[in-house]
Amino acid sequence: MIAPELSIVVPVYNEEDVLPALFERLYAVLDQLGEPYEIIFINDGSRDRSAQLLAAQFRKRPDETRVVLFNGNFGQHMAIMAGFAHVRGRIAITLDADLQNPPEEIPNLVAAIRAGHDYVGTIRKARNDSAFRRIASRLMNGLRERITRIHMTDQGCMLRAYDRALVDTLNACSEVNTFIPALAYTFAASPTEIEVEHEARHAGQSKYSLYALIRLNFDLVTGFSTVPLQWFSLIGMILSLLAGALFVLLLVRRFILGAEVEGVFTLFALQFFLTGIILFGIGLMGEYVGRIQQEVRRRPRYRISTVLEAQTQAQATEPVEIAA
Ligand code: UDP
Ligand code: MG
C-alpha cells in the first residue's frame, strides 16, 4: 500500500441516515482526484447503526478506509483529535459527516495547501442553517474575534485543511476542551481562507443543542484568552473606587445632615447590582479553575475500542470482526 497523500478526517455521531450518501460523494471526489488517499472515520460512540455502516464501508474499501471506534461520546473535537493521531497523509482535511460541507470542495483546499499555506480555513458563501444559528454564530464570531487573537472570518465551518507538520503540533497538545481550528490557527505559519459552498444537513438532526453550543463558545473564548478575566478585574476595580467614593459621600452627609433613612432602598439596589457582578465573577473564575482542574488531572482524553485498518507488515494484530 502506498503512503497516502491526503488524509480525510470525518467525525461521526449518530449519522446512519447520511453515511450512504456521504460514502458515495466523498469516495467519488477523491477517486477522481487521482492521488493516494485515506479516509479516517471516527465513530464518536454513536447509538445508531453508524458503526456497522462504517465497518461495512471498511470491508468494501479497505485500502482507503480507516475507522476509529470510540467506546463513548467524547465530542466532535476529541473525535477529530483522535483522527489526527492516525493521519498518515501529508495533507489533512476535516469534514463533517452530514454533507453540510460539500466533499466537492476538497480539491480547492488541496490547491490552497499546495500554494504554500499550512492552514486553510473556509468561509461559507451562503449558510444553510436556521436564522437563530446564523445570528448567534455571527455575534459569537465577532466577540471571539475581539477577545482572542485568532482571526477567523467564519469559525463554525469545519471543512478545513492542515499541513502535516501542523497536525503533528496539534497531536503534541493534550488539551481537554478545545476548538481545533482555533488551536491550529495559533500555530499556523501561513494561514489563509477560501470560500466554500454550504448545504443544508443532508439527513438527521444537528448534534448540537443550544447548551452544547454555549459550552463550545466558552471553550473557544476561555481556552484561548484570559481577556474576560482581565475585563472583570477592571470592572471590579472601577466599581470599588465608585463604592469608596459613595461611602465617603454618605459619611460626610451623615455628619452634616444627620442619619438618612430614605436612601435605604437605593442602597439595596446597589447591593443587588454588586451581588450580580460578584456572582458573574465567580462564574467566570470557575471557568478557568475548571480548566486548570481538567488539565491537572491529565486523563486520557478519549478511549478507542477498535481501529479498523488494512494490515501493514509492522502490525501483527488480529483482524477485527464487527457484525454488520
Ligand atoms: N459530531 C461528533 N460528536 C458529537 C457531535 C457531533 O462526532 O458529539 C459530529 C457529527 O456527526 C458531524 C459533525 O460532528 O459529523 C458536526 O455535527 P453537526 O452537523 O450536528 O453540527 P452542526 O452542523 O449542527 O453545527
Ligand atoms: Mg452539521
Q: Which residues have a Cβ under 8 Å from the Cβ of 11 and sit 6 or more positions away?
A: 42, 44, 76, 79, 80, 83, 96, 97
> Which of ligand 1's atoms lies nearest the C-alpha of 97?
15
Residue of the nearest CA to atom 19 in ligand 1?
A: 206
**Residue 260 pLDDT:** 65
Residue closest by Cα to atom 2 of ligand 1? 76
Q: What residue ranges line ligand 1, CB within 6 angstroms?
A: 11-13, 15, 44, 73, 75-76, 79, 96-98, 100, 206-208
Residue with C-alpha cell 486548570? 292
Digit-by-digit pLDDT tens for the chain (324 residues) are: 678 999 999 999 999 999 999 999 999 999 999 999 999 999 999 999 999 999 999 999 999 999 999 999 999 999 999 999 999 999 999 999 999 999 999 999 999 999 999 999 999 988 888 888 888 888 888 888 888 888 999 888 999 999 999 999 999 888 878 899 999 999 999 999 999 999 999 888 999 888 888 888 888 888 888 788 778 778 887 887 887 788 788 778 777 877 666 667 677 777 878 888 888 888 888 888 888 877 887 777 787 888 999 876 555 445 455 554
CA of 79 to the centre of ligand 1 (A): 10
The per-residue pLDDT for 316 is 47
Q: For residue 317, how far is its CA from the centre of ligand 2 (angstroms)? A: 35
pLDDT value at residue 259: 66
**pTM exceeds 0.85, yes or no:** no
Cβ neighbours of residue 46 closer than 8 Å, sequence gap 6 or more: 12, 13, 14, 15, 16
Closest atom of ligand 1 to 14 CA is 11
Determine the Cα–Cα distance for residues 146 and 148; give it in Å rounded to an integer. Answer: 6
Say what the pLDDT of residue 251 is: 77
Closest Cα to atom 16, ligand 1: which residue? 96
Task: Return the best residue to mutate from 207, 210, 302 for the ligand 1 pocket (most ligand atoms within 8 A of CB).
Answer: 207
Q: Which ligand has its closest atom nearest to the C-alpha of 213?
A: 1
Say if CB 178 and CB 302 are below 8 A apart.
no
Q: What angle do CA 131, 101, 119 make, to 5 degrees?
A: 110
Give the DSSP per-residue string, 33-87.
HTS-EEEEEEE-S-SSTHHHHHHHHHHHSTTTEEEEEESS---HHHHHHHHHHT-
The protein residue whose alpha carbon is closest to atom 8 in ligand 1 is 75
Summarised one tens digit per residue, pLDDT across range 183-240 is: 999 999 999 999 999 999 988 899 988 888 888 888 888 888 878 877 877 888 788 7
Query: Which residue's CA is the nearest one to ligand 1's atom 24?
Result: 206
